[in-house]
Structure 1
C-alpha cells in the first residue's frame, strides 16, 4: 500500500467522528480569545487520540498543542476555531435566519478548519505508529485568528522554534494550494481626551474628543488617494463619547486596521496615520493616546512545500460532491450576485463556468489570483518556519466569507466532504516530508534564501500582551 493511501485510510476511518466534532464547534461559536468550550472539544479529541498535550501556549488560555512521536523531524499542522460576531445563522438554510439575534457565528469556517487539521494530525500519528518511524506530528490549536493575531503572539514566544515545517489550510470555494499572498496588518486604538462642558451654555470651555476622531477620519480618508493601490485602511468607532449631545465629549476612541503588502510598507503607513491623529489632536486642543492591539506579517511562500502539496491534490483529485450537494449549493448561489461568483473565480485565476455550483477541479499551481487580498496570522508562522497552506472546497462557489451564507453551509454534507478531502491532502503532505528528508531540506533552503537567513522578527511590540480581555469584550 502506498504511503498516501495508508494515511488517507486513517482519515476515512475517522470521518464521521470528525464531522460530528466540527458540528459541535459550529454549535458553540465563540469570538477571539473566548473559545473556552471550543478548545475543550479539541482537548477532548486530542486526549482520545492519545496526544501529549500542552496548554496555555504563549500565556493564552485557549491555545493548545498535542504531539505524538519521538525524535525525527517535527511536522506542525495548524488549526483554528474562533467565530465572528454578528453572523449567527441557522444551518442548512438558504435564507438569512439568526439562531441568536446579533450573536456570533462561524462565518469563516473555522469549525471545519480546526477539525480537518486535527483529523490530519491524527492520521499522521497512526502512520508513524504503524510504520514504527521516527518523527513527530503536532496539532496546534490556535485561537483568535480573526483580529487577535494569536499565532503572532505564539511565534513571538518561540512556540514554533523547533518545528521543521508547518501545514495549514482554509475553507474556500475551490481546492488547491493557497497562493502565498496576504497583507501585513496592525490594529491600533486611538483614544482622544478633551474637556467636557455644557454644549449650549459654555461650548467655548469644551474641547471635543469626538471632533478629534472625526477630523482624524477625514484626514485618513484624504490619505487613501496617496497610498499604494493594494494597501487598505478600515476603522470602527469604539467610543463616541456618550449619548448626550448637549455635553461636549471629553473622551472618544477609534480603532484603525491598517494593511500593506509587507512590514516595511506597513510601518510607513502607520507612521502617516499616527501623524494624522496628532494633527487632529492639535486642531482640537485634545490629547491622543495610542495602543497597538495586534499585528501580523504577510505570508511567505515556500515552493518545495507547495509543489509537494499540489502533488497530493493531483493524486487525490477534487472532492466528490453529489446531486444533493449541488442542489443546496444552487440555492445558496441564488442568494448571491453574479459579481460574487465572478470574484470567486478570479481569486483563483479561473474562468467563470456558468451554472457550476461546487468545485470539480484542482486549481493549477501556476494560477495567480486577482482581486482583494486579506490578512492572516499564519503569516507570522511562515516567517518563523517553512509553511504551506491548502484551500479546501467546502461551500458554494461565490460564497462571500464573513457572511451568513458561509455560516449556513458550515454543517452541510458538502462542507464535511471538503473537510475530509483537505485533511487527506495535509496528511499526505506531512507523510511526504517525514519519509523524504530531502523535501524538508529543500524547504529549509528556500526559507533561508527568502528570509536572508535573518531570524523571525515579530511586528508586535515586545511589551504587548495578548489582548485577551479586550478582544473577549468585543472591543
Structure 2
C-alpha cells in the first residue's frame, strides 16, 4: 500500500466526526474575531484527537494551534471558520429562506474548510504515530479571513517562523490546484472631524465632515482612470454623521479597501488614496484620522508543491457525488443566472457541459481562464513559508461566492464529500513531503530564490492593532 493510500484510509475512518464538526460550526455562524463557538469546537476536537494545543495565539482570542509528532519537518495545514453577515439561510432549501432575518451565514464555506483541514491534520498525525517517518503536523485555526486578515497578524507575531511547508484549500464548484493569483490589499478607515452648525441659520459656521467623505469618494473615483487595470478600490460610508439634513455633520467616516497586484503597487496606491483624503480635508477645512484595519499580501506560487498537489488530485479522481447530490444541486442551480454558470467554467478555461451540475473532474494545472482576482490572507503566509492551495468541488457549478445559495449547500452530503476529498488531498501532499526529501528541498529552494529577489513587507504595519471589534461594527 502506498503511503498516501494509508493516510486516505485514516481520513475515511474519521470523516463522520468531522462532518459533524462542520455542521456544528455552520449552525453557529460567527463573524471576524468573534468565532468563539467555532474555535472552542475545533479546540475540543484537537484535544480529543490527542494534539498538543495552544489557544489565543498571536494575541487573537479565537486563533489556535494543535501540533503532533516529534522532530523532522513541520507541515502546517490551515483552517478557517468565520462567517459573513446578512447571509442567514435554511440548510437544504433551494430558495431564499433566512433562518434569522439579517443574520450571519457561512457564505464562503469556512465551516467545511476548517473541519477538512483538521481532518487532514488528524490523519497525518495518526500516520506519524505509526512510526514510519519523523515529522510534525500542525493545524492552525485562523480567524477573520473575511477582511480581518487574521493570518497577517499571525505572520507578524512569528507563529509560522519554524514551519517548513503550508498546505490549505478552499471549497468551490470545481477541483484543482489554485493558481497563485490574488491581489494584495489594505483596508483603511478615514474619519473626518468638522464643526456642527445650523444648516439654514448659520451654514457659514459649519465645516461638513460628510462633504469631506463625499469629496474623498469623488477623488478616488477619478483616480480609477489612472491606476493599473488589475488594481481595485472599493468604499463604504460607515458613518454619515446622522440623518438630520438641517444639521451640518461634524463627523463622518468611510472605509476604503485598496487592492493591487503586488506589495509595491499596493504601497504606492495606498499613499495616493491617503493623499486624496488629506485633500478632501483641506477643501472642507476638516481634519482626517486614518486607521488601518487589515492588510494582505498577494499569493506567491510554488511549482513543486503545485505539481504534487495536482498529481494527488488526479489520483483521487472526483469526490464521488451521487444521484441525490446531483438532484439537489440541479434545484439550486435553477436560481443562478446563465452568466453565473458560464463564468464558473470560464474561470478555469473549461467548456460548459450540458446537464453537468456537480464537477467530478480536475481542472488543468496551467489553465488559461477568465480568472477574476480577489484577496486572501493566505497570501501573507505564502511570503514567509512555501505554500500550496487547492480548490475542491463541494457545491453546484456556478454557485456565487458569498451567497445564500452557498449557505444552503453547506450541510449537504455533497459538501461532506468535498470535505473528505479535500482532507485526502492535503494529507496526501503532506505525506509525500514527509517521505520525499528531494520534493521538500525543491519547494524550499524555489521559495528561497523568490524571496532573494523580492523582499517582504507585511502589509499590516507594526503599530496596527488587530480590529477585534470588527464584528460588532
Query: What TM-score, normalized to structure 1?
Result: 0.98
Q: Find the residue that maps to 1:66 and give its secondary structure.
A: strand
Task: State how far apart, in whole Å, the 2-side matches of 1:8 and 1:455 are.
Answer: 38
Structure 2, unpaired ranges of 5+: none
Alpha-carbon distance between aligned partners in 1 of 2:374 and 2:28, rounded to the nearest angstrom: 25
Superposed displacement of residue 130, structure 1: 1.3
Alpha-carbon distance, 1:245 to partner: 1.3
1:378 is displaced (CA, Å) by 0.3
Equivalent residue for 2:397?
A: 397
**Deviation string for 1:31-67 (max 9, x for gaps)?**
0000000000000000010000011111001000000
Q: Distance in 2 between matches of 1:62 and 1:396?
A: 31
- Please list the CA deviations of residues 139-195 of structure 1 after superposition, one character each: whole Å capped at 9, or x if unmatched: 000000001101000011110000000000001110111111000000000001110
The answer on whether the counterparts of 1:89 and 1:99 sit within 8 Å (CA) in structure 2 is yes
Distance 1:457 1:134 in 2: 33
Q: How is 1:317-336 mapped onto 2 (pairs within 5 angstroms)?
A: 317-336=317-336
User: Could you tell me how far apart the structure 2 residues matched to 1:409 and 1:239 are?
Assistant: 35
- Equivalent residue, structure 2, for 1:150: 150
Question: CA–CA distance in 2 between the matches of 1:233 and 1:188?
Answer: 11
Asked if residue 77 in structure 1 is aligned to residue 58 in structure 2, the reply is: no
Q: Give distance in 1, aligned partners of 2:82 and 2:456.
A: 25
CA contact (8 A) 1:73 1:136 kept: yes
Hey, what does 2:367 align to over in structure 1? 367
Counterpart of 2:410 in structure 1 is 410
* CA distance in structure 1 between the aligned counterparts of 2:394 and 2:456, rounded to whole angstroms: 33
Given that 1:179 and 1:368 are in contact with CA atoms closer than 8 Å, whether structure 2 keeps it comes out as: no
| Equivalences for residues 90-101 of structure 1 within 5 A | 90-101=90-101
Q: How far 1:221 sits from its partner (Å)?
A: 1.0
Which residue in 2 is equivalent to 1:386? 386
Aligned to 1:245: 245
Aligned equivalent of 1:11: 11
Query: Is it true that 1:443 corresponds to 2:465 in the alignment?
Result: no
Change (3 A) 1:179 1:83: same
Which whole-Å CA distance do the structure 1 matches of 2:309 and 2:412 have between them? 26
Q: Secondary structure at the match of 1:195?
A: coil
Give the aligned partner of residue 472 of structure 1: 471
Q: More deviation in 450-459 or 155-164?
A: 450-459
Does structure 2 conserve the Cα–Cα contact (< 8 Å) formed by 1:184 and 1:266?
yes
Structure-2 residue corresponding to 1:66:
66
Q: Does 1:423 align with 2:423?
A: yes
Residue 468 of structure 1: how far off its partner (Å): 0.8
Question: What is the rounded CA distance, in whole Å, between the counterparts of 1:120 and 1:131 in structure 2?
Answer: 18
Q: Residue 200 of structure 2 contacts residue 246 of structure 2 at CA under 8 Å; is this kept in 1?
A: yes
Q: 1:371 Cα shift?
A: 3.6
CA distance in 2, matches of 1:50, 1:348: 39
1:47 corresponding residue in structure 2: 47
Asked if the contact 2:263/2:457 (under 8 Å) is kept, the reply is no
What does 1:14-33 correspond to in 2, within 5 Å?
Answer: 14-33=14-33
Instruction: State the number of aligned residues.
Output: 473
- SS for the counterpart of 2:256 is strand
CA distance in 1, matches of 2:49, 2:6: 18
Counterparts of 1:454 and 1:270, CA distance in 2: 20
Map 1:262-273; keep pairs closer than 5 Å: 262-273=262-273
Q: Following TM superposition, by how much is the alpha carbon of 1:456 offset from its aligned partner in structure 2, in angstroms?
A: 4.0
Cα offset, 1:408, TM superposition = 0.5
Q: Are 1:194 and 2:194 an aligned pair?
A: yes
Structure 1 consecutive aligned stretches of length 4 or more whose deviation exceeds 3 Å? 453-456
**Contact 1:185–1:296 at 8 Å: present in 2 too?**
yes
CA deviation after TM superposition for structure 1 residue 237, in Å:
1.1
Aligned partners of 1:274 and 1:466: how far apart in 2? 20
Equivalent residue for 2:87? Answer: 87
Distance (Å, rounded) in 2 between the aligned partners of 1:129 and 1:461: 40
Distance in structure 1 (CA, Å) of the matches to 2:453 and 2:436: 23
CA distance in 1 between counterparts of 2:204 and 2:171 reads 55
Q: Which residue of 2 aligns with 1:109?
A: 109
| CA deviation vs aligned residue, 1:206-247 (integer Å, no higher than 9, x gap) | 010001101111111111122111111111111000121111
State how far apart, in whole Å, the 1-side matches of 2:456 and 2:271 are.
22
Choose 247-256 or 361-370, whichever is displaced more.
361-370
